[in-house]
Structure 1
Amino acid sequence: MSHRNARLTIHGRRILVERVLAGRPVAHVAAEMGISRPTAHKWVRRWRAEGEAGLHNRSSRSRTTPHRTTPGTEAAVCDLRQARKLGPARIGPILGLPASTVHRILVRHGLNRLAWLDRPTGEPIRRYERNRPGELIHVDIKKLGNIPGGGWRTVGRTAGDRNRQATTTQRRSCKPVIGYSYIHYIHSAVDDHSRLACSEILSDERQHTAIAFWQRANAFFRAHGVRVERVLTDNGACYKSKLFTQSVTSVGIAHKKIRPYRPQTNGKVERFNRTLADEWAYQRPYTSNDERTAALADFLHTYNHHRSHTALDGHPPISRVNNPADQYS
């Protein structure tokens, strides 16, 4: 990027080249634009050698770095980071390096944030995304906090712990439950490529309920021009049932399940569940379950059509879908 006092931007360089090509002397054009003749000749020479690409700024980084840390030392830094989860201030004294140098090495290898690493193995978490809508649909179920009552997001940690303890006691005595609701489950399906999502609040997580939801979700994706090719679920009882798999495969869709205890594989819908909790279910205190349920449709429409998504360069999910008609929410 040019500095704020630069005489020539990319647009100015094009004007310079156009005037020279029109037959005017380079020295005259340089004087008009307030630059030196060597500078003017430089841009004209770059344009003749590279065309339009030659008018763009180049990196000021040097071609060689003689004092860069050796590959062996960088490997030792990475090994300590991944094996022992140490930070720059701890790794530096062990290897005799400044903490700032260790930090630059970790940034270079994508290891500077522990949140980006898989905790058991220390390996960087690989983010993946399918190439087209419908290639993979993530499906999952999330329990909802009951109203009245509420979890820690609504009433705070102390009261939330009391409600959770009361939940266990009341469930055993068949009293109304405070805390997590056992009559409301939110079933969700999220497209891996576009992040287009649909959700329904249902009364249980049994196989017939999960099958009925998936059939409606599949119709929702078809209404948006998305042809589903594969469905990915966890190993919940309803998804492990043969009846659910048959209902999916009977229409030419493959059913895949994640490895046990690896929720990262189903990460698109897991992240959507967190968005549901933060921006809908626990965004504000609701007076009843019905009020919260009624707010779901507006949230889904906002999420699919208007909410910017960082993984989509700030665009909503509908921007990656062929048919923008929303017939679900």
Structure 2
Amino acid sequence: MKKTTAINIRETALRTLQVEAAAIRDLQQFVDEDFEKAVEIIAQCAGRLVVTGIGKSAIIGQKIVATLNSTGTPALFMHAADAIHGDLGMIQEHDVVMCISKSGSSPEIKVLLPLVKSFGNTLIAMVGNTSSYLAQEADLVLNTTVTQEACPNNLAPTTSTTAQMAMGDALAVCLIEWHGFTAADFAKFHPGGTLGKKLYLKVGDLSRHHQTPRVRLDSPLQEVILEISSKMLGVTAVMDPEEQLCGIITDGDLRRMLEKNINTATVIARDIMSAHPKHIQKDELAINALEKMRQHDITQLLVMEDKRYIGIIHLHDLIREGII
């Protein structure tokens, strides 16, 4: 398609965002008694929430279903066109049905609704026209009316689908709080990818792959250097005679010592260690280790099991796992 008129791209983009932002703000007035009842009915439903729609509303419906399933509310998507050709069998006795439509009067919707209602399931409408067939037939109405589409011709679903998405998110978040859905619950449904690792990967899962560099308080400098070099972690713990952690030496400590031009022949671990080393428990989440490293501007932490030193977690471990 050939460009026929000059436009100000930035102006057009900003106008689009402003129109859509205003539509979302206007949705606040539609969070009413029907919205509250819808949350209660879905939360207490013995079955699933079956979401249906046509066109762009169907795509929004699929996103809402994905959000609900990932946050503890069983849901499935049924395309309105496919429903009248056999997919109605997806609806079970205890399910709640939510139909999404801007106009509420699409031909497929008009055919579908009597069939759904004949099953006796509760019908929720998410609709942009409260005078429509869908709104009149539904048990509850989630109003997503918008004054205009962001499209210059006021035709392409833009603002209306944004409103549907936002209302769906409001519904999902209410259900999250209703069920007391926690980050630990979320992790169960997101075991893969970076997000999953942030929610379930623990410090001990990473540190167990490393050796546990350690020297004694009276270890000579050569032994300290060899321990740091051989374990290839840039650090070693310093232990007292009872094998209790009392300090840490990093390769940075070695460099700073050499810069002082002192007699290295008499240096022992106690002379260059840092007391009270930063550490983390093995059962903490790896993402917490990253936060602690950032807070103290360091690249490794000693890993503890209660008061016992058991290993090292390094910034490179977190990078390799995609935590960063």
Q: One fold, TM greater than 0.5? A: no
TM-score range, shorter chain: under 0.3
Higher strand share: 2
